[in-house]
């Protein structure tokens, strides 16, 4: 994938409004969020936010809004869960499918959050930093809008594939990385980003789980997107990708390859004292 195609693909993950197929990308996001390793990381993130009745909490890069609705149920009946996203398509879906009396949705950029400083009891963001141009600025903004001493929770995830007979890992892993682009430095250096943003008391929660069905693996690897995007590169590339996916499925179903998900949940606190997070 050349730099232009990589930039275009990242733009689609960042902003549904720029996607070649908004409905497909949204469906893939929802399917990924239903996977048990992701659902488990979500539940942990809610607990780490220390949500309570009456609190005002924020979900940055809320996408289709399922997490906002879940948080709204936790802060009800007199709290507020706010979701912010740059995509009007995602927010339209959220308002339609994930409405709640204690939920609200706001258009905004994660690196320039449209909220006053120290205006939330806790803040979370999931799988947003890994597509960012300026992840450090995003974490700084989350720190800025969080009350002193309150938690900021970040969730990220990535698929892994252990190749066996018939699947060369030197071919397989780079192909995955080219097809579904992310910023690998975010995974490796997320704790450092959090510390650099001025947050304190950093705790890391790692998990790793193998997927049980090919349907789960398809969602984890975003294979429907891989196939659709390969078509933009020409029929030869698309044929190669489809052949590779068929070999992956055959190997998976005879237990010659393992596909799984790694999750990382990071929680840290805004400093109790006055801070400089610029």
Least confident of 62-66, 240-244, 274-278: 274-278
pLDDT tens per residue, range 111-155: 999 999 999 999 999 998 888 878 999 999 999 999 999 999 999
- Going by pLDDT thresholds of 50, 70 and 90, the confidence category of residue 107 is very high
Q: Is residue 191 part of a domain?
A: yes
The total of structural domains in the chain comes to 1
Cα separation, 74 vs 56, whole angstroms: 10
What pLDDT sits at residue 104?
98
Does the pLDDT of residue 9 top 70, yes or no? no
Q: Is residue 238 part of a domain?
A: no
CA distances from 264 to 11, 76, 188 (A): 23, 28, 10
What pLDDT sits at residue 14?
65
Q: Is residue 71 part of a domain?
A: yes
Does the pLDDT of residue 185 top 90, yes or no? no
What pLDDT sits at residue 251?
83
pTM above 0.85, yes or no: yes
What number of other Cβ atoms are within 10 A of residue 52's Cβ?
12
- Going by pLDDT thresholds of 50, 70 and 90, the confidence category of residue 182 is low
Does the pLDDT of residue 2 top 60, yes or no? no
Does the pLDDT of residue 3 top 60, yes or no? no
Q: Is residue 91 part of a domain?
A: yes
Does the pLDDT of residue 277 top 60, yes or no? no
180 touches 222 (CB < 8 A): yes
Q: Is residue 202 part of a domain?
A: yes
34 touches 58 (CB < 8 A): no
Least confident of 86-90, 180-184, 191-195: 180-184
- Going by pLDDT thresholds of 50, 70 and 90, the confidence category of residue 184 is low
We report the CATH number of the domain holding residue 199 as 3.40.50.150
Residue numbers of the domain that contains 76: 3-156+181-210+262-269
Q: Is residue 195 part of a domain?
A: yes
Q: Is residue 55 part of a domain?
A: yes
């Amino acid at each position: 994938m050349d730099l232009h195609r990589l930039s275009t693909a990242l733009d689609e993950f960042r902003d549904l409004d720029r996607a070649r197929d908004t409905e497909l990308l949204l469906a893939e996001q929802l399917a990924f969020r239903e996977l048990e390793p992701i659902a488990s990381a979500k539940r942990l993130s809610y607990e780490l936010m220390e949500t309570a009745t009456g609190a005002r909490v924020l979900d940055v890069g809320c996408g289709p809004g399922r997490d906002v609705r879940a948080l709204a149920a936790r802060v009800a009946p007199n709290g507020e869960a706010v979701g912010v996203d740059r995509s009007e398509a995602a927010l339209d879906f959220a308002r339609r499918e994930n409405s709640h009396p204690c939920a609200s949705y706001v258009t905004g950029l994660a690196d320039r959050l449209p909220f006053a400083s120290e205006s939330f009891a806790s803040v979370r963001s999931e799988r947003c930093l890994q597509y960012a141009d300026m992840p450090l600025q995003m974490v700084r903004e989350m720190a800025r809008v969080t009350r002193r001493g309150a938690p900021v929770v970040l969730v990220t995830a990535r698929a892994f594939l252990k190749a066996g007979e018939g699947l060369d890992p030197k071919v397989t892993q780079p192909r995955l990385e080219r097809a579904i682009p992310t910023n690998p430095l975010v995974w490796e250096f997320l704790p450092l980003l959090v510390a650099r943003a001025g947050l304190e008391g950093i705790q890391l929660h790692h998990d790793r789980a193998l997927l049980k069905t090919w349907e789960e693996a398809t969602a984890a690897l975003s294979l429907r997107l891989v196939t659709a995007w390969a078509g933009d590169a020409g029929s030869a590339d698309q044929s190669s990708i489809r052949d590779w996916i068929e070999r992956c499925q055959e190997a998976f179903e005879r237990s010659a390859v393992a596909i799984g998900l790694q999750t990382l949940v990071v929680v840290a606190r805004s400093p109790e004292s006055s801070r400089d997070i610029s």
